[in-house]
Structure 1
Amino acid sequence: MADRAREILHRVFGYDDFRGLQAEIVAQVAKGGDALVLMPTGAGKSLCYQVPSLLREGTGVVVSPLIALMQDQVDALRELGVRAAFLNSTLGAREAREVERQLVAGELDLLYVAPERLVTDRCLDLLDRSRIALFAIDEAHCVSQWGHDFRPEYLQLAVLHERFAHVPRIALTATADAMTRDEIVDRLSLHDARRFVSSFDRPNIRYRIVEKTEPRRQLLEFIEGAHAGEAGIVYCASRAKVDETADWLAAHGVPALAYHAGMDTASRAAHQARFLREDGLVMVATIAFGMGIDKPDVRFVAHLDMPRSVEGYYQETGRAGRDGLPAEAWMAYGLADVVQQRRFIEQSEGNEAHKRVSSGKLDAMLGLAETIECRRVRLLAYFGEASGPCGNCDNCLEPPEAWDATEPARKLLSCIWRIREASGFGFGSQHVIAVLRGQDNPKVQQFGHDRLSTFGIGAGLGEQEWRAVLRQLIAQGLVVVDHERHQVLALAPESRALLRGERTLQMRRPRTSARARAGKRARGSAGSGAGARISAGRGGPGAADGDSRLDPAAEALFERLREWRRAVASERQLPPYVIFHDATLREIAQQRPGSLDALAGVSGVGQRKLEAWGQAIIDLIAAPGS
């Protein structure tokens, strides 16, 4: 079976061998066993069910949560010669009946189905009449009510175990902590499944978190400084902010599109199609966008608002650099993020247990944002993985200065208390910091706060530093924000220990520059994390470690190959990466194969693509000027 699996891998997908845990997973499912697979985005999860589907008799049924992406997934498989189809609400009655006929007749290798459709009586009866090779439940974290992307319809998927006990099931996700893994197993009845947990590390991604000062200006400087003309995703917390940011970027020369649930279906679909099929677009979106995105050449993911959990952050940033080439995860983070996320939890309709879990997840996210240690070490530790400093995050490349903020924190706490005592009510952060810094403005004078003992005791620190101290105090639960009273500040009982000198507060000192530092492109060998693993994107195991830079001649050939690919994709109305990934074109540009046999040795060139495009590529390489 192992030899057959490798033969399929090479002939269909164009890769010489599996990587990581792929071979073990394929063997487990192909022989009829269940599996729970945790594997980072871009590490080749899809091959773990695609290859067994081609090995086993019958059709592999893939449960996928986003119908908008099924068409592209099926198109990509058909280009490889795989008999694939989908069943969802976008099909007309006649088209759906034809797919159903093909399934029952055994004419499909893979069928993608939305979860809400799969659990209908009609679809289950259809599966009863068909030969099913396996069930693959993609984005399995959606089953977890503690997770960041809970989908109620996933809870009904336990019916697969009850009704098709003899059919192997494989549940896959890129994001799940230990508690979420246990919940997936319990809710999907995967108690006998073998668990495969690969490294969560994405060494090609550089993580960078900056203090939020002028977020849009900082974002623009980041894009222009490091990723001009490249594809990226910008996440915002609200629909209004998405629209405003997309318009603002477009007005400043960045081709940007908006995507959120408040848009009409046609506009959303059109924007998503453009993002997938065109080069160099920036999608500004809420978290409604992104799950299952197959676009491999997203060079950056930026957050203008802090995610609610490390799982959410990891899932969203993982949409960058799926091709294994250098990419960046950038986030602007400030006091308002802490206040906003705490408010979301306080005002949520969940019970106390749910709020406690949510608070714990937020604390972990705050810890990642505030840490003075390696970001990657902190991120991987959340998922239970030990590691060393990566040399490829902002804290490794530009080590932040740690300082003892105990005394400033005590001053701030005292100022909040004195103001409330003098006025009988509290004030917001801007007023408290103004009093601390001794700013004798009309509001301070109006309430007589210029006569308080804490007036001016913090003049030695700037506003940005005081906001950082306050952010840390709120993050640690020492200061609370009363959202019912215009976000005024109050002391939490836990603050007493700090006021009494029974505990200390260590934190990172804010950058002195008010402007963002644009991230340098993650190239070369800047530490262990920067040796970018050049793979063929989602499902591409044929990888080679090394520097992704090309010499001038190879770079010119690479651009001509991209132009050729763009023309072919446009003619066939397909996303360019369905023809070939950037990583494959880069390898072709480096090796300059002179024959079809030589081209067949390039990672990502399978038999079907060699027959369809091989001679055109050989001719392009041999053309004058190449």
Structure 2
Amino acid sequence: MASPVEVRGKDPLEILRRVFGYDEFRGSQREIIDQVVGGGDALVLMPTGGGKSLCYQIPALVRDGVAVVISPLIALMQDQVDALHAVGVRAGFLNSTLDLDIRRMVEAEFRAGEIDLLYLAPEALGSPGTVRLLESGKIALFAIDEAHCVAQWGHDFRPDYLALSMLHERWPDVPRIALTATATTATHEEIATRLDLKDARHFVASFDRPNIQYRIVSKREPRRQLLDLLRTEHAGDAGIVYCLSRASVEKTAEFLVQNGIAALPYHAGLDAGVRAGNQKRFLREDGLIMVATIAFGMGIDKPDVRFVAHLDLPKSVEGYYQETGRAGRDGLPSTAWLAYGLQDVVQQRKLIEGSEGDQAHRRNLAGHLDAMLALCETVECRRGQLLAYFGQAQVEKCGNCDTCLEPPESWDGTIAAQKLLSTVLRLKRERNQKFGAGQSIDILLGRQNEKVVQHGHDSLTVFGIGTELSEAQWRGVVRQLLAQGLLAVEGDYGTLVLTDASAEVLGRQRTVMMRREPERPAAGRTPKQKADRSPAQDLDPEATKLFERLRAWRAATAKEQGVPAYVVFHDATLRQIAADAPTSLAELGRVSGVGENKLAKYGQSILELLTG
């Protein structure tokens, strides 16, 4: 495939404008590109949607040879290559999905230097045939995408990534750029060490995604709460719903479909063909919702995902940030929503207790969970806590998270904690019994139900001493005691047990501050929080009509070409076209995201649509 836009050796800014249709670089993009173009190595930490791919795609067009991109995303390579073809960049991929004839054609293009980028899976580098192929051509650079996969303590560890240090050993003069969106300081250091990038120049962009509104709600009826969110704020929007188990994925997708919302399931237990088909539909159709386990999502380039919802507690802040970062890659307003409850804490603690690995491994998992619980329970700015986890300070409150929009109160829960811990203590000391949270709460509320009476718990001195709080409030107390390490769970039934720190509370040596959830109407959010989250927000009625017509044209065009809609144009580009209403190709070419190739390909059709 010949590139219609000849840019080899041109200035990076000229390539940005002519090929990709953007007027200026963002953040540290130009510095990163200059580092790689000049032959230097780079380690880049940049949030999802921050423009990481341009940091290796533009050097690939400046330097001689073919850029080799190492990516774990076999299922998405075709879409990545299609997106490059759409802007006139020659690209190909080699993975197990190709038949022999196409593989040979791509290999021949690589040897002849007739492509600009070649995508490979990391495991391919373990094949002598792949290494021989790379030695037979001229390599412009190596790009290692999703570099956090090398971190053994991370949430997406891929053993094949450990072998990527061989790139520097075998091709010492070829620059390498490693990129990731999720890395704490420890993960950052591990990437540098394992990929032999200690001497590389490191670029750490702000992890903040100000267009994403972070909200964590108390779990009541999570599927009903999700349905309310979709109906009131995200009707017709594309989004991702994460669930912990395969069964929950299936039930949630079915629930949404039964309530008139287009949703598809995705988990490792599905037939591979069904899974691939569902992912393809999600990427290529507007307004679909993917209900998935965390097996889905890494590298998803769909820019118009308007929300990411979690119906279960993520295991770590890194995982949560990576998953929520799939919303709003186009920079338009988006929502990260999590429903969180007592059972989530119990379940995650049990999973850690029963996990494989040594005590150090379990301590590491517990540390990740503690940080996630701290994010859920904070009374401070949610975004500030999230950024602090990645080592970045935030001076002011963000004004776009639930704790800023409707600040929760904190209250002195020491007496409540003492009552709950005393109940657990007396069950163990006086009856040699251990129960889950429900039994302790029933005892505190003075409920003479069958289970309480059967075990004689109505004769305990703590029976009925907790009527000042409701059952929901007591469940919040248990949840927060678990989160603070003042209570623990053990065994298959999640029974409550005291910890070493419990004695400090019972001995009146420690104050326990707790978060009080703000009162919310049953139907959903308060008017104070309500906001228009649609891509067409702020457009006048006429521009909104144009935007919808452009989306319909884009959907038909994408379907005809067999590519995802965003490969044609992003929502943000269509939004600007609708707002500016250009009347000539020259005016249309000045819209962000309209490069020379797309202008030549689609320009006349868009102008006809605007004047029709």
Bin for the TM-score computed over the shorter chain: over 0.9
Shift of 1:420: 1.9
TM-score relative to the length of structure 2: 0.96
What letter corresponds to residue 93 of structure 2 in structure 1?
A: F
From 558, 561, 564, give the equivalent of 1:569.
558
Matched residue, 1:346: 353
Q: Give the Cα separation in 2 of the matches to 1:596 and 1:621.
A: 12
TM-score relative to the length of structure 1: 0.94
Matched residue, 1:441: 449
Shift of 1:517: 2.3
Q: Give the Cα separation in 1 of the matches to 2:526 and 2:323.
A: 19
Matched residue, 2:379: 372
Matched residue, 1:236: 243
Moved more, 304-313 or 486-495: 486-495
Q: Give the Cα separation in 1 of the matches to 2:469 and 2:329.
A: 43
Q: Give the Cα separation in 1 of the matches to 2:149 and 2:514.
A: 35
From 171, 177, 185, give the equivalent of 1:178.
185
Matched residue, 2:3: none
Q: Give the Cα separation in 1 of the matches to 2:367 and 2:521.
A: 31
Q: Give the Cα separation in 2 of the matches to 1:47 and 1:144.
A: 24
Shift of 1:10: 0.5
Shift of 1:581: 0.5
What letter corresponds to residue 559 of structure 2 in structure 1?
A: S
**Is the 1:66–1:114 contact (alpha carbons within 8 Å) kept by the matching residues of 2?**
yes
Q: Does 1:452 align with 2:460?
A: yes
From 592, 598, 605, give the equivalent of 1:609.
598
From 10, 13, 20, give the equivalent of 2:27.
20
Q: Does 1:551 align with 2:558?
A: no
Matched residue, 2:408: 400
**Residues 82-104 of structure 1 deviation map (CA, whole Å, 9 limit, x = unaligned):** 00000000000111011001001
**Structure 2, unpaired ranges of 5+:** 1-7
Matched residue, 1:206: 213
Matched residue, 1:580: 569
What letter corresponds to residue 141 of structure 1 in structure 2?
A: H
Shift of 1:594: 0.7
From 89, 94, 98, give the equivalent of 2:105.
98
Matched residue, 1:194: 201
What letter corresponds to residue 375 of structure 1 in structure 2?
A: R
Matched residue, 2:440: 432
Matched residue, 1:111: 118
**Is the 1:325–1:548 contact (alpha carbons within 8 Å) kept by the matching residues of 2?**
no
**Is the 2:488–2:499 contact (alpha carbons within 8 Å) kept by the matching residues of 1?**
yes
**Is the 1:214–1:515 contact (alpha carbons within 8 Å) kept by the matching residues of 2?**
no
**Is the 2:353–2:362 contact (alpha carbons within 8 Å) kept by the matching residues of 1?**
yes
Shift of 1:548: 4.8
**Residues 452-501 of structure 1 deviation map (CA, whole Å, 9 limit, x = unaligned):** 110011011011111111111111222121224x2211111210001111
**Is the 1:297–1:320 contact (alpha carbons within 8 Å) kept by the matching residues of 2?**
yes
SS of the equivalent of 1:54 reads: helix
Structure number with higher relative contact order (C-alpha < 8 Å, ≥ 6 residues apart): 1
Q: Give the Cα separation in 2 of the matches to 1:579 and 1:404.
A: 55
Q: Give the Cα separation in 2 of the matches to 1:574 and 1:443.
A: 59
SS of the equivalent of 2:48 reads: coil
Q: Give the Cα separation in 2 of the matches to 1:186 and 1:121.
A: 25
Q: Give the Cα separation in 1 of the matches to 2:252 and 2:213.
A: 23
Matched residue, 1:539: none
SS of the equivalent of 2:11 reads: helix
SS of the equivalent of 1:330 reads: strand
Q: Give the Cα separation in 2 of the matches to 1:372 and 1:451.
A: 38
Q: Give the Cα separation in 1 of the matches to 2:610 and 2:474.
A: 59
Distance 1:343 1:492, change over 3 A: same
**Residues 215-273 of structure 1 deviation map (CA, whole Å, 9 limit, x = unaligned):** 11111111111101110100000111101110111111111100000001100011001
Q: Does 1:461 align with 2:450?
A: no
Distance 1:361 1:516, change over 3 A: farther
Sequence identity (%): 61
**Is the 2:9–2:63 contact (alpha carbons within 8 Å) kept by the matching residues of 1?**
no
SS of the equivalent of 1:134 reads: strand
Shift of 1:3: 7.2
Q: How does 1:157-306 map to 2 (within 5 A)?
A: 157-306=164-313
What letter corresponds to residue 55 of structure 1 in structure 2?
A: V
Q: Give the Cα separation in 1 of the matches to 2:522 and 2:515.
A: 18
Shift of 1:523: 5.3
Matched residue, 1:619: 608
Matched residue, 2:515: 508
Q: How does 1:54-93 map to 2 (within 5 A)?
A: 54-93=61-100
Q: Give the Cα separation in 1 of the matches to 2:160 and 2:133.
A: 19
**Is the 2:407–2:518 contact (alpha carbons within 8 Å) kept by the matching residues of 1?**
no
Q: Give the Cα separation in 2 of the matches to 1:426 and 1:190.
A: 52
SS of the equivalent of 1:399 reads: coil
Q: Does 1:423 align with 2:431?
A: yes
Shift of 1:515: 3.6
**Residues 520-542 of structure 1 deviation map (CA, whole Å, 9 limit, x = unaligned):** 78758xxxxx9x9x9xxxxxxxx
Q: Does 1:35 align with 2:38?
A: no
Moved more, 567-576 or 514-523: 514-523
What letter corresponds to residue 393 of structure 1 in structure 2?
A: C
Q: How does 1:307-326 map to 2 (within 5 A)?
A: 307-326=314-333
**Is the 2:350–2:494 contact (alpha carbons within 8 Å) kept by the matching residues of 1?**
no
Q: Give the Cα separation in 1 of the matches to 2:346 and 2:211.
A: 32
What letter corresponds to residue 457 of structure 1 in structure 2?
A: I
Matched residue, 1:597: 586
Distance 1:522 1:561, change over 3 A: farther
**Is the 1:80–1:609 contact (alpha carbons within 8 Å) kept by the matching residues of 2?**
yes
From 50, 59, 63, give the equivalent of 1:52.
59
SS of the equivalent of 1:574 reads: coil
**Structure 1, unpaired ranges of 5+:** 525-529, 535-546
What letter corresponds to residue 582 of structure 2 in structure 1?
A: P
SS of the equivalent of 1:208 reads: strand
The CA RMSD over aligned residues, in Å, is: 1.6
Moved more, 352-361 or 190-199: 352-361
**Is the 2:141–2:174 contact (alpha carbons within 8 Å) kept by the matching residues of 1?**
yes
**Number of residue pairs matched by the alignment:** 603
Q: Give the Cα separation in 1 of the matches to 2:557 and 2:434.
A: 64
SS of the equivalent of 1:82 reads: coil
